[in-house]
Amino acid sequence: MATMLTHPQVWAAVDRLAARYGYSPSGLAKKSGLDPTSFNRSKRITPEGRPRWPSTESIAKILAATDASIDEFISLLTKKERRSRRLIPLIGFAEAGGDSYFDERGFPVGSDWDKISFPNVDDKHAYALKVSDNSMKPLFRKRDIIIVSPAAPIRKGNRVVVKTKHGKLFANELMRKNAKIVTLASLNAQHKARSLRVAEVLWIARIVWASQ
């Protein structure tokens, strides 16, 4: 006997897809060209108390925005939530630009990190950065926590942390990358996009979650 999808299952899959690609539900809606409030929890039930389902058009748009496949979305429909948690390294974003916190692969090293409890992620080298100021507003604000996964695949449109060979560390959105140039959009609309030679970049790692 076939099992019908439930309203909570479909919305949970939307939330999981957003988290997997480093967005809040509202951030994913905006990235997909939808009203930022489209996926708000308050809109998932009508004023009359009936469940409101995401449209097939909305799902198609979020798949296009994240470059995720329909098979990936289907897998998230039945994926069980992981309840296990583990401690991952945590440090302030401003401090993380120092030379002693990462190896050449972008993995956290050393004993000067704090620890934060976080639901288990599929990357033993994942770490957390605490935003130190408001220079990345409106996306990230002072004291927000971002989770970074060096093992996560990176696609155009992902938010990433970049470390240069000159010791600079910053968070941007990946616009494009080829064999010679990496182009990054600022998370602050007041700043222009920047381009770096690939030879200047030590590593790039994807932001997979943020406390927005």
Residue 163: inside a domain:
yes
Pick the range with the lowest mean pLDDT from 36-40, 41-45, 50-54, 79-83. Answer: 79-83
How much is the mean pLDDT over the chain?
A: 87
- The count of structural domains within the chain is 2
Q: Per-residue confidence at 52, pLDDT binned at 50, 70, 90?
A: very high
Which pLDDT does position 176 carry in this prediction? 93
Is residue 1 a part of any domain in this protein?
A: no
Residue 68: which domain range? 7-78
For residue 160, with 0-12 CB atoms within 10 Å meaning exposed, 13-18 middle and 19 or more buried, which class applies? buried
In this structure, what DSSP letter does residue 198 have?
A: G
Q: Are residues 205 and 117 in the same domain?
A: yes
Q: What is the mean pLDDT of residues 155-168?
A: 91
Q: Is the pLDDT of residue 201 over 90?
A: yes
Asked whether the predicted pLDDT for residue 84 surpasses 70, the reply is: no
What is the number of alpha carbons within 13 Å of residue 174 lying toward its C-beta? 23
| Average pLDDT value for residue range 148-162 | 91
Specify whether 99 is located in the same domain as 60: no
- pTM, full prediction: 0.64
What is the domain-level CATH number for residue 19?
Answer: 1.10.260
On the CB side of 42, how many CA atoms lie within 13 Å of its CA?
3
Both structure tokens of 144: 């927000």
Q: Which residues contact 112 (CB under 8 A, 6 or more apart)?
A: 91, 100, 101
Predicted confidence band of residue 3 (pLDDT cuts 50, 70, 90): low
Residues in the chain: 212
- For residue 22, pLDDT beyond 80: no
Task: With beta carbons less than 8 A apart as the criterion, state whether 149 and 126 touch.
Answer: yes
Position 72 confidence tier, pLDDT thresholds 50, 70, 90: confident
Percent of the chain whose predicted confidence (pLDDT) is above 90: 44
Neighbours of 210 (CB within 10 A): 22
- The 10s digit of each residue's pLDDT in 95-153 is 998 878 999 999 999 888 999 988 767 788 999 999 988 888 888 888 899 999 999 88
User: Is residue 114 in a domain?
Assistant: yes
- Structural domain contains residue 2: no
**Cα–Cα distance measured from residue 143 to residue 96, given in angstroms and rounded to the nearest whole number:** 14
Instruction: Kindly state whether residues 186 and 105 are assigned to the same domain.
Output: yes
pLDDT surpassing 60 at residue 1: no
Distance CA 196, CA 180 (A): 8
Among 19, 53, 78, residue at a domain's last position:
78
Contact 8, 15 (CB under 8 A): no
The stretch 47-60 carries a mean pLDDT of 90
